Amino acid sequence: MTGKPTDAELAVLRAGCTRAVNWHGLRSAADMLGTIPSDVEADRYGSGGVVGELEAEVASLLGKPAALFLPSGTMAQQTALRVHADRSGRRAIVFHPACHLDWHEGRGYQRLHCLIGVPAGELGAPLTRSTLDAIHELPAALLLELPQRDLGGTLPAWDDLVGQVSWARDRGAAVHMDGARLWEATPWYGRKPAEIAALFDTVYVSFYKGLGAIAGCCLAGPADVVAEVSDWRTRHGGRLFAMWPYAASALTSLRARLPRMPTYYRHALAIAELLDDIPGVEVLPNPPQSTMMHLQLSVTAAELESRAFGIARRDRIWTFPRPFATVSPTVQRIEFSVGDATLEFTPSEVRDLIEALGSPA
């Protein structure tokens, strides 16, 4: 096999790799099913069993009175914001221009819930308190993503985060956290999840992103708000007859990987330090502020693919053959999440791989 592989050849190539440098690696369906204990207790329509156990544990971790398991973050966040809007009588939601709800969810908040998005600040710059001061409309809620995925996992300084929350409180608005990767933000802040979540009225956390579970999330907050979100979960078709496989995988992954976040973060810092002087490679942000970072490589998409496929064929290591689009065809952006698979490589080994992928020819 030479050149760019077909989809079928790509699947064979990927399956032939014995290691992966990104995240938790190349996991099979059997690997994922292995995160479900054999003695798990089933729920019924989201009530009882391991679902209730997961909800109680997440509520405790986040320091909130209640938590609700939902099959997707899209559902969780739209419904939470709908509840905040209905309670305030306002429809505006203030968020960063790269907000996940606005970019990746078909603007369901607008189409399904008649909410009005109010972007604050510049697309490529993190949100700040001073940025929010330019917004004069009274919103129903301020949505803050911690960390900001599309900016490489950036986080606001703690004092500025407190200032952003105060901006919303001063205007009678709720504060909601898109905490899909909140677990990955804890090492940089040096704070437990509950300390960060205490600033917010409601918090959404994912189980499949940084934690690597099968799917699903929780929405945590006051019991009455969570109860209303539960009603909306039913209306959205999210009250599935059996949620226990997802909840069991989530609970296993949460307990296994949340304690590893400081280790992932230290590894990310060590890797970024070694990447800093490679020509044609830029780390964003530098140094990393969470267990993830973005890398900008001064190569074309075709060059990156060719090099990644070459490494897969020769070394049986899966890297980053699918970059994000950028404004320049000669610059590719890849998302690098440090996880279990990454820990199997020394920072020097990762440097060698990134240099092979991203150095100008």
Ordered by start, the domain boundaries in the chain are 7-27+260-358, 29-257
161-187: average pLDDT: 98
CB 156 within 8 A of CB 182: no
Q: Amino acid identity, residue 186?
A: T
pLDDT value, residue 144: 98
**How big is the CA angle at 312 (ends 309 and 316), to the nearest 5 degrees?**
175
CA distance 250 to 195: 22
Percent of the chain with pLDDT over 70: 99
Q: Is the pLDDT assigned to residue 1 strictly greater than 50?
A: no
Phi, psi of 332 (to 5 degrees): -115, 145
The tokens of 186 are what? 């804890």
Strands (E), 103-186: 116-119, 141-145, 174-179
Looking at 3.40.50.670, 2.40.160.40, 3.40.640.10, 2.70.150.10, the CATH number of the domain 29-257 comes to 3.40.640.10
Residue-wise pLDDT tens digits, 203-254? 999 999 999 999 999 999 999 999 999 999 999 999 999 999 999 999 999 9
Please list, in sequence order, all residues whose beta carbon lies within 8 angstroms of the beta carbon of residue 343, skipping any fewer than 6 positions away.
Answer: 263, 264, 267
Instruction: Check residue 36 and give its pLDDT.
Output: 98
Q: How many CB atoms lie within 10 A of CB 303?
A: 17
Give pLDDT tens digits for 106-162. Answer: 999 999 999 999 999 999 999 999 999 999 999 999 999 999 999 999 999 999 999
Please tell me the CATH superfamily of domain 7-27+260-358, with its number: Aspartate Aminotransferase, domain 1 (3.90.1150.10)
